[in-house]
Amino acid sequence: MSLPDNEYAFDKDLTLRLAELTSPAKRGFAKWAPKQVVGLALLFLCIIWLLLFVPNRFLQPEVMHLSIVLGFLGIWRFGWWFTHAVRAEIYRRAVWPQMRAKSQELWASGWRPGRLHIQMTTYYEDPSITKRVIGSILGQIKHEGIPTTLYVGTGSAYDELIIRDFVETHSVDIPDALAELIFIRQNQPGKRMAIGLIVRAISRSGVDPNDLVVFMDGDALFGSDVLEKVLPMFGTDPELQALTTDEEVICYGPKWIQSWLSMRFAQRRLAMQSHALSGKVLTLTGRMSVFRAQHMLSEKFIRTIEADHLDHWLWGRFRFLSGDDKSTWYHMLTRDAKMTYVPDATVYTIEVIKESGLGRMIQNFRRWSGNMLRNGSRAIALGPRKVKPFIWWCLIDQRIAMWTMLVSPTIAILASFIEPLYLWGYLIWVLSSRILLCLFLYRYSRTIDLSWPFILYLNQFINAAVKVFMIFHLSKQKWSNRGNQTAAVGDGLLAKSQNAMAKFQLITTAVGFVMAVAIYIGLLPIPFSF
């Protein structure tokens, strides 16, 4: 669905979609509508028919060694999913209920943070979205009665006028002592500089180290009682330094992109709960994260946001364009800080996609994968003792998985030159395995979407390919959400030489990868023997 063409239509549509998302979620078999049960049954019947009537080539002697490799990779990846699923259930059933009960008891006793600071950046956002976001913040400030300062980082008067007009109209019943609005006009481009200026303003305001600071984006709506659910977590656990929340997405764009993003957030719920069992997370998501204010007083924390960079043998020193949430996360890792995930506090992200859906998908992968690769290597270097063994291994697995994901389709395609029907067997395996994986994911979704098994494989394949590309192009950055910002683009001799070297590395690695697989399956002879 595209974005409605006027504010009234948008507000009406958004209200309906929020009402649907905030209604009590169905659980278990109650999620399954009759047509979805029939659809799943038809998928299983299709698989059974293929198994019965398509000759099975997996166990043929000439390709048995290929099936062993595929089976080993499948067991490994399934085992990893199962490990996350078990850990997520432990957190969900045993750990989280106790944390929630303690925080509710503390909140009911009257505990409140001394002051709440909310930092939000916005950049030529749609006025309808901006008003909804500000309205959700004002509503919770009024309801909870917490003295709050809202810092809004802007790039021009455009967003400021919209926000000021809305606040003046809708905050007349909120005492001035309870809420304060401060605009921070950035004097240098980029979201990072905007956040850095806000954090510096917070540090100069006489902030108490025990105050709390919310980091959020200009397209993220607070769900009901978000502040009540997240703030007391810091009161019950003095060691907790930062947390992030659950997310849902409302997408105005191609329908399949909505399905893809919903699937991604279901994956996120499963993984985040698994990670939180270790007292760490893999990212402090920029849509909504909360920190103790003591970190705003750290110059190193501020500079990590403003000027985080990487020194690379090919690209030299380059600054990060996006990924401020990964930078703050890495800083917290270096401080051995405890972090957690709050599964019942939801922030609703509004995504407006006007360009090609597939193009936006690849752009997002480039941004997410680039941020992960740029920060993952230095997080791994901190070691398992500081990062925690399970989280440390998750970081390593991210880098391994992009290659293992590409092994199986490469084997299947090359093996079809030896045994043409082998590719059919692989497609049966892909469909059946992704259906099984999605049965895990449906537990963490509000609805059942039978397109997920197909989207999941597309997601995994494209993500792996983009990660391989980004390994050799770490400095390449583009962010369509912030005015089509780009980095590491140049026409000089040095830039051309760097790009040529990166392409050479990518091509030789890809060719070497395919040749190694071809040699293993016997399609190519071993070039030399001992």
CA distance 524 to 519: 5
**CA 409 from chain center: how many Å?**
25
Nearest residue to 387 via CA among 309, 270, 284, 282: 282
Give the range among 69-83, 160-174, 227-241, 386-400 with minimum mean pLDDT. Answer: 69-83
pLDDT over threshold 60, residue 483: no
Side-chain half-sphere of 220: how many Cα atoms within 13 Å? 23
Contact assessment for residue 270 and residue 85, using Cβ atoms and an 8 Å cutoff: yes
| All residues at 6 or more sequence positions from 405 whose CB lies less than 8 Å from its CB, including other chains | 460, 461, 463, 464
Q: What is the mean pLDDT of the chain?
A: 89
Pairing mode of beta strands 220-222, 338-352: antiparallel
| All residues at 6 or more sequence positions from 170 whose CB lies less than 8 Å from its CB, including other chains | 134, 135, 138
Give me the pLDDT at residue 426, please. 83
Contact assessment for residue 512 and residue 500, using Cβ atoms and an 8 Å cutoff: no
Give me the pLDDT at residue 60, please. 67
Q: Return the structure tokens found at 163.
A: 């926000």
Pairing mode of beta strands 179-185, 148-154: parallel
Over the stretch 280-294, which tens digit does the pLDDT of each residue have?
999 998 899 999 999
pLDDT over threshold 70, residue 489: no
Determine how many CB atoms are found less than 10 A away from the CB of residue 75. Answer: 11
Over the stretch 243-272, which tens digit does the pLDDT of each residue have?
999 999 999 989 999 999 999 999 999 999
Give me the pLDDT at residue 316, please. 87
pTM (2 d.p.): 0.92
pLDDT over threshold 80, residue 412: yes
Contact assessment for residue 252 and residue 2, using Cβ atoms and an 8 Å cutoff: yes
Give the range among 19-28, 105-114, 116-125, 241-250 with minimum mean pLDDT. Answer: 19-28
% residues pLDDT > 70 (the chain): 95
Q: Taken in order 471, 472, 474, 478, is the CA torsion positive or negative?
A: negative
CA distance 506 to 517: 17
CA distance 379 to 392: 8
List the strands of the sheet with 179-185, edge to edge: 179-185, 148-154, 116-121, 212-217, 288-292, 240-252, 338-352, 220-222
- How confident is residue 360, by pLDDT bands cut at 50, 70 and 90? confident
pLDDT over threshold 80, residue 494: yes
Phi, psi of 241 (to 5 degrees): -110, -25
* CA angle (395 as vertex; 512, 77 as ends), nearest 5: 70
First to last CA, the chain: 62
Beta bridge partners, 152, equal: 120, 183
Q: Taken in order 254, 260, 262, 268, is the CA torsion positive or negative?
A: negative
Over the stretch 179-218, which tens digit does the pLDDT of each residue have?
999 999 988 888 899 999 999 999 999 899 999 999 999 9
Mean local confidence (pLDDT), 1-16: 82
Higher-pLDDT residue of 54, 358? 358
Give me the pLDDT at residue 56, please. 67
Pairing mode of beta strands 316-319, 338-352: unpaired
What domains sit in the chain, N to C, each tagged with a CATH number? 112-310+323-355 (3.90.550.10)
Phi, psi of 151 (to 5 degrees): -100, 120
**Which burial class, exposed, middle or buried, applies to 375 when counting CB atoms under 10 A from its CB (0-12, 13-18, 19+)?**
buried
- How confident is residue 419, by pLDDT bands cut at 50, 70 and 90? confident
Over the stretch 60-115, which tens digit does the pLDDT of each residue have?
666 677 778 878 888 888 889 899 999 999 999 999 999 999 999 999 999 999 99
pLDDT over threshold 60, residue 305: yes
Length of the chain: 530
- How confident is residue 55, by pLDDT bands cut at 50, 70 and 90? confident
pLDDT over threshold 90, residue 150: yes
- How confident is residue 474, by pLDDT bands cut at 50, 70 and 90? confident
Higher-pLDDT residue of 328, 424? 328
Residue type, 267: Q
- How confident is residue 490, by pLDDT bands cut at 50, 70 and 90? low
Higher-pLDDT residue of 109, 376? 109
Give the range among 39-48, 329-338, 415-424 with minimum mean pLDDT. Answer: 415-424
Give me the pLDDT at residue 528, please. 63
Give me the pLDDT at residue 427, please. 86
Give me the pLDDT at residue 367, please. 87
Side-chain half-sphere of 341: how many Cα atoms within 13 Å? 23
